[in-house]
Amino acid sequence: MPRSVHLIVNPKAGQGRARKALPSVLNVLRSQMHDIDLQVQQTSSPTDAKARIKAASERMLANIDESNPPALLVMGGDGMVSLGLNAVAGTPVRLGLIPVGTGNDFARGVGLPLTPDEGVAAIVAGVERQIDLTYIEGKLTGGATRRWVGSVVSTGYDARVNRRTNRRIVHIGALGYGVDALVELAKFQPLNYRMTIDGVRRDEVAMFVAVGNAGYFGGGMHVCAEADPADGLLDLTIVHPVGRAALLRLLPQMYTGKFVTDPCVEMLRARQVTIDGDRMFGMGDGEELGAVPLDCTCVPNILWLLGSAGPASA
C-alpha cells in the first residue's frame, strides 16, 4: 500500500511565504517520496486548521498500518506545529515540519531545519526519531483540561510579552517580540510563584519561571539553554528579581543563551512541575494555555518526528 501522507498548509504563514513556497515543496515530495498517497489541504483560519488537522489524523488512525505508518506534514509556523503535535502525540503517525513561520521555535529546539526547502529535504531523507513532550493539565483556554506542549511553558514576564505580541494588530515579525518586551518591562513587577517540583513545594518571587522541553520561544530566545527534548526531563529557568536595567541587559543575551551565567538565573531539571501563583497565566508554544495552576509533566518518547536528529539550531 502507498504510504498515506497528509500535508496541511497555512498559506498565510510567514506573511505569505508559505503560499509561494508550496509549489516547490510539492514538487520535492512528489518526485522524491515514491509510492505515497499525498493529500494536500490549505487552511483559511486557525479554527479551520485545527479542524483539518484533527480530521486528517483521525482518518489516518482509522486505517493505520503500523508496518507502514502514515505521516502528517504541517507547513506553517509554531501554531501549526502545536496543532500537529497535539493531534498525533501518542500515536504511530509521524509528524513532519515544513517551517515557514516567524519564529519556528519548535523546529529550532529539536534541531530541525528552519527553511521550507531544507525542511522538506529532511522529511524525504526518511530519518525519524521519538522525542518527549510536556503534558499539561489544568483549566485551560477553551474549556480543555489537557494539552501537549513541545517547546516552552511561560507564566511570568515572558508570558505577558508573548500575549501582547499575539494581540498585535500590526505584525512586524520576530522584531515584534523585542518591542513588546520593552513595553512590558516598563510596568512589570516580580511575581509570587508557588511551585511543586518533583513533589517538593517551593515558593519563589521571580521575574519568570520557564518550563522547557525544547528550549526556544519568542522567535529565537534560548530561554532553557540546556534543554534536550529526548532526555526525559523538563528544564526550568528561574530568573530571580532584578531591576529593569538588569533585565534589559539580559534580554539580548536570551537569544544566545548566555544570560544563564548571570547570578540572577537559576536552572533546574525535573520530571513534573506544578506552577501556581498570583496574577499569572500560562502560555505554551506561543499560544495561551489559561489560568494557573498548571501541572507540567515530561512524557518521554511520545512523538514520532520526521527529520534528522541534531543539536538545537542556532
Q: Summarize the confidence of residues 54-63 as an average pLDDT.
A: 94
- Distance between CA 62 and CA 207 in Å, rounded? 46
Q: Summarize the confidence of residues 237-245 as an average pLDDT.
A: 90
Calculate what percentage of the chain has a pLDDT beyond 90.
65
pLDDT of residue 14: 83
pLDDT of residue 168: 66
Beta bridge partners of 165: none
Q: List, in order, residues 6 or more apart from 144 with CB less than 8 Å away.
A: none
Higher pLDDT, residue 4 or 314: 4
Stretch among 51-60, 136-145, 289-298, 304-313 having the lowest mean pLDDT: 304-313
Higher pLDDT, residue 166 or 121: 121
pLDDT of residue 131: 96
3-state secondary structure of 159: helix
Stretch among 40-44, 186-190, 303-307 having the lowest mean pLDDT: 186-190
Q: How does DSSP assign 134-147, residue by residue?
A: EEEESSBGGG--EE
pLDDT of residue 161: 76
Tell me: the pLDDT tens digits for 259-280?
999 999 999 999 999 999 988 8
Q: Summarize the confidence of residues 43-48 as an average pLDDT.
A: 94
Residue 156 pLDDT exceeds 90: no
Q: Residues 128, 306: contact at Cβ < 8 Å?
A: yes
Residue 308 pLDDT exceeds 80: no
Q: Which domains does the chain have, with CATH numbers?
A: 3-126 (3.40.50.10330), 135-300 (2.60.200.40)
Beta bridge partners of 95: 72, 305
Backbone conformation region of residue 158, classed left if phi is above 0, alpha if psi is from -120 to 50, else beta: alpha
Beta bridge partners of 128: 306
Q: Residues 64, 70: contact at Cβ < 8 Å?
A: yes
Residue 10 pLDDT exceeds 90: yes
Residue 313 pLDDT exceeds 50: no
Segment of 1-5, 185-189, 303-307 carrying the highest mean pLDDT: 303-307
Residue 11 corresponds to which cell in the numbers above? 498559506
Backbone angles phi, psi at 257, to 5 degrees: 85, -5
Q: Residues 77, 216: contact at Cβ < 8 Å?
A: no
pLDDT of residue 226: 93
Q: How does DSSP assign 286-305, residue by residue?
A: TEEEEESPEEEEEEEEEEEE
Calculate what percentage of the chain has a pLDDT beyond 70.
92
Higher pLDDT, residue 166 or 275: 275
Instruction: Kindly give the pairing relationship between strand 36-42 and strand 3-9.
Output: parallel
Instruction: Kindly give the pairing relationship between strand 287-291 and strand 281-284.
Output: antiparallel
Distances (CA, A) of 22 to 13, 16, 72, 283: 11, 10, 16, 30
Residue 9 corresponds to which cell in the numbers above? 498548509
Distances (CA, A) of 182 to 66, 154, 245, 285: 49, 17, 11, 21
